[in-house]
Structure formats: structure tokens, C-alpha cells
């Protein structure tokens, strides 16, 4: 029997996650919570932020997880991404989870972790890739949007889809209220999708994630 803290700080499953963030870190928290209550058999071994003021760093520290700040400013993308890949490889990370990491990754980084980088995006891809997906959807007037967890490839929010969940846009929604409901969905979707990928027994048929 292990405590929640032991679960979230490691030593249990052997499946090693590296989580990349730039800000709030609520999806990071949802991953830590899922590990803590046994929904996800994995350990977050490092949290890396490109911003020193990312709130998510504090969440990681509270959970006793190693944090790294790797500031991208003034660095060429290739050089930065190589340093990022090295930091993750050095910690023998099995899966890289982008959780609000506001940077496009270079093809060399993607190639360094084939089918081992996941991202969460707040829309039903391929609709509304890029920034402010919730606002894009709200302004467009769609009546259903949602959240998507997908593999990261060289395209912008375009890799193979692992899991999606729909969220209905209500008539009285603002972009902010819609974003808040999507975020609730994100928080259960991401840990579940990570568990799917770690469980194995899947393959990609073209773009299709098949189990």
C-alpha cells in the first residue's frame, strides 16, 4: 500500500512522464491527482517550464517533483529543443506530456520521441487549432466543441487523435464560461488518454489510433 504522496513522487509504476508547461498547470495537477488516486499508473519525474513564473511549477514543487526552468528567450529553436530533449532523455522519460506548453516543437524534437509526445487541446480537432481555441469556437458559433488529446507531430495541433470529448455550447455561454467547462473535461480526459497510451496494445493505422 502506498500513500498518495509516494504515488505522485515516484517509485511505483516505472512509467516515467515528463510534463512541459508554460503557465497555470491545471492539467499538470489533474495528472498528479490521477496518479495520486490510482487512475494513472505512472510517475511524473520532471516538470519543465519555459517560464520561471509558471504557476504550475509551484504545483510540482508541492508534490516533490523535480522542476526545471528552461527559458527559450534568446535561443534558437533547434538549440533550445535539443537541450529540452537532452533533459528529458537524461531522466529516461517514457512519455512527454505537453500541458499548456506554449511553444511549437521542432521536427528534430518530435523525431527524438516518436509517438511519445502527447498534447491536450481545448477544441474538437481538427477544428480550431492554434491559440484561444475556445474563443475561436465561440466566435464561430459552433454548438458543439470540446477537448482533444493527440500525439504531437510536425504540424500545429495536427497529430493522431487519442481521445476526444464533446462539450455543448449553451446559448448564454461567454467564451470564458465555455472555456471553464472545457477545462473540466480536459482534466479527466488527459489522464485517461495518458493511461490509454501507457497501456499499450494500440497501433496507428494512418492517422487512426486503434486499440
- Positions touching ligand GRF (CB under 6 A) are 21, 23-27, 56, 99-100, 120-122, 183, 186
* Residue among 89, 121, 140, 187 flagged as catalytic: 121
Shortest distance, position 62 Cβ to ligand GRF, whole Å: 15
Q: Is 210 exposed, middle or buried (0-12, 13-18, 19+ CB in 10 A)?
A: exposed
Shortest distance, position 147 Cβ to ligand GRF, whole Å: 6
* Of 93 and 125, CB closest to ligand GRF: 125
Question: Rounded to whole angstroms, what are the CA distances from 61 to 45, 47, 58, 70, 71?
Answer: 12, 9, 5, 16, 18
* Of 93 and 147, CB closest to ligand GRF: 147
- Complete edge-to-edge strand list for the sheet that includes strand 144-151: 67-69, 43-49, 16-21, 95-98, 117-121, 144-151, 161-168
Shortest distance, position 101 Cβ to ligand GRF, whole Å: 8
* Of 7 and 22, CB closest to ligand GRF: 22
Q: Is 89 a catalytic residue?
A: no
Shortest distance, position 16 Cβ to ligand GRF, whole Å: 20
Cβ atoms within 10 Å, residue 155: 11
Q: Which residue is nearest to ligand GRF (CB)?
A: 100
Residue bearing cell 470564458: 176
Would you tell me the crossing angle of helices 55-62 and 26-36 to the nearest 10 degrees? 20
SS3 9: helix
Shortest distance, position 194 Cβ to ligand GRF, whole Å: 14
DSSP classification of residue 190: H
* Of 94 and 186, CB closest to ligand GRF: 186
What length is written for the chain?
211
* Of 121 and 163, CB closest to ligand GRF: 121
Please identify every residue annotated as catalytic.
Answer: 121
Amino acid at each position: 500500500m502506498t500513500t498518495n504522496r509516494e504515488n505522485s513522487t515516484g517509485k511505483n509504476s516505472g512509467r516515467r512522464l515528463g510534463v512541459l508547461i508554460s503557465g497555470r498547470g491545471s492539467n499538470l495537477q489533474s495528472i498528479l491527482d490521477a496518479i495520486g488516486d490510482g487512475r494513472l499508473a505512472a510517475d511524473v519525474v520532471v516538470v519543465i517550464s519555459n517560464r520561471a513564473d509558471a504557476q504550475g511549477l509551484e504545483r510540482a514543487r508541492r508534490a516533490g517533483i523535480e522542476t526545471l526552468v528552461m527559458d527559450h528567450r534568446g535561443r534558437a529553436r533547434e538549440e533550445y529543443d535539443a537541450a529540452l530533449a537532452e533533459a528529458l532523455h537524461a531522466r529516461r522519460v517514457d512519455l512527454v506530456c505537453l500541458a499548456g506548453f506554449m511553444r511549437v516543437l521542432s521536427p528534430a524534437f518530435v523525431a527524438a520521441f516518436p509517438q511519445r509526445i502527447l498534447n491536450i487541446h481545448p477544441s474538437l480537432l481538427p477544428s480550431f487549432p492554434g491559440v484561444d481555441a475556445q474563443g475561436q469556437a465561440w466566435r464561430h458559433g459552433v454548438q458543439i466543441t470540446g477537448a482533444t488529446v493527440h500525439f504531437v507531430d510536425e504540424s500545429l495541433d495536427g497529430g493522431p487523435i487519442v481521445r476526444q470529448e464533446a462539450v455543448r455550447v449553451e446559448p448564454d455561454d461567454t467564451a470564458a464560461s465555455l472555456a471553464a467547462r472545457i477545462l473540466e473535461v480536459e482534466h479527466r480526459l488527459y489522464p485517461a488518454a495518458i493511461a490509454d497510451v501507457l497501456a499499450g496494445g494500440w497501433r496507428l493505422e494512418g492517422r487512426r489510433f486503434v486499440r
